[in-house]
Chains A and B, each alone.
Chain A
Amino acid sequence: MAAKVIAGTPVEVNEEGYLVDASQWNRDMATEIAREVDIQELTDDHWKVIDFLRRDAEEKGGSPTIRRLKKAGGIDTKLLYELFPGGPLKKATKIAGLPKPASCI
């Protein structure tokens, strides 16, 4: 665990850089975290994914899955990979200030 300043706000992050407390997140942070994971600009499509993840985490809790993004969020899987290349769930949750999806056993 470490303290870090993202978009001018001090926050706690874990060893992989995920926010410890999702309620500390704001939209400016998303833009800054996105750059850290090599996404230079967040488009409307990116935001559609991030907003769904935030809403779903609040309403349902638990870890998101790609299947859930498709079924409940209406987000095409191929598009998701284009938006967040190199691990869409890992990157999108990080940008959205949510925990890294649990690895299944």
Chain B
Amino acid sequence: MKNLLILGAGTAGTMMATHLNRKLDKKEWRITIVDQHKTHYYQPGFLFIPFDLYKEKDVIKAKTEFIPKGVTYIQERIDIIDHENNQVSLANGDSLAYDILIIATGSRIVPDEIEGLNGPGWRSNVFDFYTIEGAAALRDRLAGWEGGRFVVHLSEMPIKCPVAPLEFTFLAEAFFHKRGIRDNVQMTYVTPLSGAFTKQNCSTVLGYLLDEKGITLVPDFDVERVDEENNVIRSYEDEEVPYDLLVTVPTNMGDAVIERSGLGDDLNFVPTDIHTLQSKAQENIFVIGDATDLPSSKAGSVAHFQADVLTHNILSYIQGKEMTASFDGHANCFIESGFGKAFLIDFNYEYEPVEGTFPLPGIGPFTLLRETRINHLGKLAFRHMYWHILLRGLPMPGITTHMTKIGKKL
């Protein structure tokens, strides 16, 4: 028997377990997946929790619900990946040998990376919304908040779901309106980027929207520290932005096991071939989802497209054939803009987000790079699709692995 081992049972790891369970010959291959946690979170839903639009129960299920029969699930912390000897040690002392390893250990926020962030103010007047605890704590704080200086801040790139801080800002703006306190809130969006977003087309459209909603944009802000005594964030160039309530996206890093195993870059992301998804360290190690160092978005849609490519390539690798499936950097993201509307963007390594219709050329029903109500409904419907289609490795209706150029104004 040969062993295929998957590290991480999040979005990417679970999809790989499902795909390979169908494709691999079970007389020859044993599939094992390891994760230290028992809960699978619908992470895009964290965005709605601070505004009480989703409850915790809407974003939580047991990981075991999505691990297919025929795949062994081990709930244990991973100690180290001994990639020279093809084995993984677990915290309980067990050791797992592998013939093929898939790293899907994701990324996480590391508040300690910014001086002063993880101080007494953390989850009192300084919050994150990238964890369920952070999102829920923020909801409780916002419920009784009377107004003041509201600062949304992004520490450094890359981050998981790069559009999320903007969506959060737009939803917050709508939330303050609804509560009748918008006039008492000064909103500021602080980013290390030169504009509202990484992609130029998007940045223009979304930057305009910030302006329209009366939200001040502070670009090119490289945070040095959070000064909790004076309630200001300070940049390396001694700029200051004062806050009463700070919502920050701390530095995102790959899992600590990557660092312990000597497999990561400076942020613990694993150097990976951008097309084949093979690791640069060893030919029998593959990497998927947020754990990679790819210049693509860290997002569920990306992991979904990568899973198709990686499944194909692992089968080729097993057969000793050339790996011909190629990931094109495809990402597809809804961007909530508040008041029941949303944008949709679709792009890859080569092409920036443009206007058009999606997924059906000329028909839609979604409109790219424009704010519509249908796009918002698509975002809400996506939660159902995530649990029932995406995680179960079923094809998403009309949505292709590679970005299509038809129906787009390129």
- Asked whether, in the complex, the Cβ of A71 is within 8 Å of the Cβ of B331, the reply is no
- Known A77-B236, A81-B236; judge A103-B198 contact (CB<8 A): yes
Q: C-beta contact mask, B281-318 vs A, less than 8 Å → 1, else 0?
A: 00000000000000111000000000000000000000
- Asked whether, in the complex, the Cβ of A103 is within 8 Å of the Cβ of B193, the reply is yes
A59–B384 CA distance with the chains assembled, in angstroms: 47
Q: How many A-B residue pairs have CB under 8 A?
A: 36
In the complex, what's the smallest C-beta–C-beta distance from A45 to chain B, in angstroms? 15
A103–B198 CA distance with the chains assembled, in angstroms: 7
In the complex, what's the smallest C-beta–C-beta distance from B46 to chain A, in angstroms? 20
**Interface flag for A10 (CB, 8 Å):** no
A65–B222 CA distance with the chains assembled, in angstroms: 12
**Interface flag for B158 (CB, 8 Å):** yes
- Asked whether, in the complex, the Cβ of A105 is within 8 Å of the Cβ of B222, the reply is no
- Known A67-B267, A81-B222, A87-B220; judge A104-B237 contact (CB<8 A): no
Minimal Cβ-Cβ distance residue in A for B237: A81
- Known A77-B236, A103-B198; judge A67-B331 contact (CB<8 A): no
Q: C-beta contact mask, B206-223 vs A, less than 8 Å → 1, else 0?
A: 000000000000001010
- Asked whether, in the complex, the Cβ of B266 is within 8 Å of the Cβ of A78, the reply is no
- Asked whether, in the complex, the Cβ of B267 is within 8 Å of the Cβ of A105, the reply is no
Chain A residues in 8 Å Cβ range of B266: 65, 67-68, 71-72
In the complex, what's the smallest C-beta–C-beta distance from B207 to chain A, in angstroms? 15
A105–B331 CA distance with the chains assembled, in angstroms: 10
- Asked whether, in the complex, the Cβ of B296 is within 8 Å of the Cβ of A105, the reply is yes
**Interface flag for A74 (CB, 8 Å):** no
Which A80-105 residues sit within 8 Å CB-CB of chain B? 80-81, 85-87, 102-105
**Interface flag for B199 (CB, 8 Å):** yes
**Interface flag for A7 (CB, 8 Å):** no
A85–B222 CA distance with the chains assembled, in angstroms: 12
- Asked whether, in the complex, the Cβ of B295 is within 8 Å of the Cβ of A102, the reply is yes
User: Can you list 9 residue pairs at the A/B interface with Cβ under 8 Å?
Assistant: A67-B266, A67-B267, A77-B224, A78-B224, A86-B237, A102-B295, A104-B157, A105-B158, A105-B198
Interface residues of B (CB under 8 A from A): 156-158, 162, 193, 198-199, 220, 222, 224, 236-237, 266-267, 295-297, 331
Interface residues of A (CB under 8 A from B): 65-68, 71-72, 77-78, 80-81, 85-87, 102-105
Since A72-B266, A103-B198, A104-B157 are in contact, a sample of 14 more A-B pairs with Cβ atoms closer than 8 Å, ordered by chain A residue number, is: A66-B222, A67-B266, A68-B266, A77-B236, A78-B224, A81-B236, A103-B157, A104-B158, A104-B162, A104-B295, A105-B158, A105-B198, A105-B295, A105-B296
